[in-house]
Structure 1
């Protein structure tokens, strides 16, 4: 029998593996947004505090698991659209989270095998799983940067990024359900603008963001549960989300509920059943 030395392979969510994660620098005593999300979509890299938080939020929004899966499906459609319709061959995936197939490179390289992808996250668990992200098509390339979205200059200057992406060529910037983790006082709009300004014409941004617009009372309970657990969670209005695209051309159908953005198959009977705005824009 072979024993793995990778905590990402050995620990998972099993109680016996918890100390392995702690040695890897992961705080398993408090909930973390990536692990809460992982629990909702059926992953195994989560711990008791994450599950408790996930279930507390589920009390306020019983359909939250379906919403999380809808957000993941929006990401897949957006990446495919950028690769196939917009000709994007490079992606910068910020706040990538715990790997869940299909990942960005799986989707994009299925369209264009030579696609290059840089993943960015600041969670040690994602770092532990980074090797799983590196399984790229031979013609393409993927890499991972351990960094914070609030330090856009450090991300753009990282040698792993500059060795993988050509910032003189169009890039697909992905910000999928991550900006809600940045409080208003940290000015996420400026952080996103710094990233957008560094990209050339023809680049695209795909973004999703939870909102209180569709059910203010339920989302208010979610925010309260997150605050109680020590997590930052900032839902934003349609107008606030639209500001992240400032100066870029929103592609059809514009900023819309994620269930209404180029749905697979029949349109949803209630596109606002998932409490997220989503959209894709292109730099002129």
Structure 2
């Protein structure tokens, strides 16, 4: 099967997109996804909260970029099963001419996205691709149109860089991608982290056993900070707990996650 094509749905095996949707309160998915989430939460009960923190941060980041920086073009990599408000809906509150390209290769995520977004092709495009295949993604006509005007593009990675193992060097992927973006574009990353290598290994082993090739690494904070190397952070001096990212407002309280677990990242501007 060509890279980037959705795999057939095997309802006996969990899907990361469906598991994430279930952690956010979604009622879809299959019994395999619900069992996997129950087992995962037995190991790390606060992952449901961290999923909610991730989702809320992405919404704040898009709202801020649209309203304060006039960003009208978005590339949502690993967009998952659509949940309202969608990225294009958030951005269009401030910029009605926004266009978003959603990229995923999960068949359920793609099917639901295409069904929902078929109502307004001017607002969004759904692209089937593996997020690691950035060359193919950037060649797609809709993505090429996002880039060709030379206007800023915001690229979103929320709970998806964890799917790329260290051996595949996701840092090079980010450097190569940001190097192709127009000057003044933005990189938005939210990544699951834990300070304890034994806990990272335990959860990582469970997810690799559960998801197979669709899982990579939970990382320490320093490794996530490397994704922002050479970029200018927005709203903070360095990557941090995304629960507290809210430019222009008083500092937010700590996320409430237990010591060690942090949804880590931020927003950075491409030179």
Secondary structure class of the residue paired with 1:111: coil
Equivalent in the alignment of 2:218: 235
Secondary structure class of the residue paired with 2:69: coil
CA pair 44-145 structure 1, distance change in 2 beyond 3 A: same
Per-residue CA deviation, residues 130-186 of structure 1 (Å, 9 max, x unaligned), is: 2313444x9x52111100111100000012322455452110111111000011111
- Counterpart-to-counterpart distance in 2, 1:26 and 1:93: 22
Runs of 4+ in 1 over 6 A off after TM superposition: 263-266
- Counterpart-to-counterpart distance in 2, 1:191 and 1:205: 13
Secondary structure class of the residue paired with 1:71: helix
Equivalent in the alignment of 2:183: 201
Equivalent in the alignment of 2:253: 268
TM (norm. structure 2) is 0.87
Instruction: Report how many aligned residue pairs link the two structures.
Output: 258
CA pair 266-202 structure 1, distance change in 2 beyond 3 A: closer
- Answer yes or no: is 1:116 the counterpart of 2:103: no
* 1:80 CA displacement: 0.8
* 1:270 CA displacement: 4.7
Per-residue CA deviation, residues 192-223 of structure 1 (Å, 9 max, x unaligned), is: 2221111111100110001122x555444322
* 1:240 CA displacement: 1.1
Larger RCO, structures 1/2 (Cα 8 Å, 6+ apart): 2
Cα pair 2:137 2:143 within 8 Å, conserved: yes
- Counterpart-to-counterpart distance in 1, 2:69 and 2:105: 29
- Answer yes or no: is 1:172 the counterpart of 2:186: no
Equivalent in the alignment of 1:184: 166
- Alignment partner of 1:35 out of 18, 22, 43: 18
Equivalent in the alignment of 2:268: 281
- Answer yes or no: is 1:132 the counterpart of 2:88: no
Equivalent in the alignment of 1:258: 242
* 1:265 CA displacement: 7.9
- Counterpart-to-counterpart distance in 2, 1:266 and 1:200: 31
Secondary structure class of the residue paired with 1:206: strand
Per-residue CA deviation, residues 6-45 of structure 1 (Å, 9 max, x unaligned), is: xxxxxxxxxxxxxxxxxx9212121111111111111122
Equivalent in the alignment of 2:4: none
- Counterpart-to-counterpart distance in 1, 2:210 and 2:76: 27
Equivalent in the alignment of 2:49: 66
TM (norm. structure 1) is 0.84
- Counterpart-to-counterpart distance in 2, 1:41 and 1:230: 19
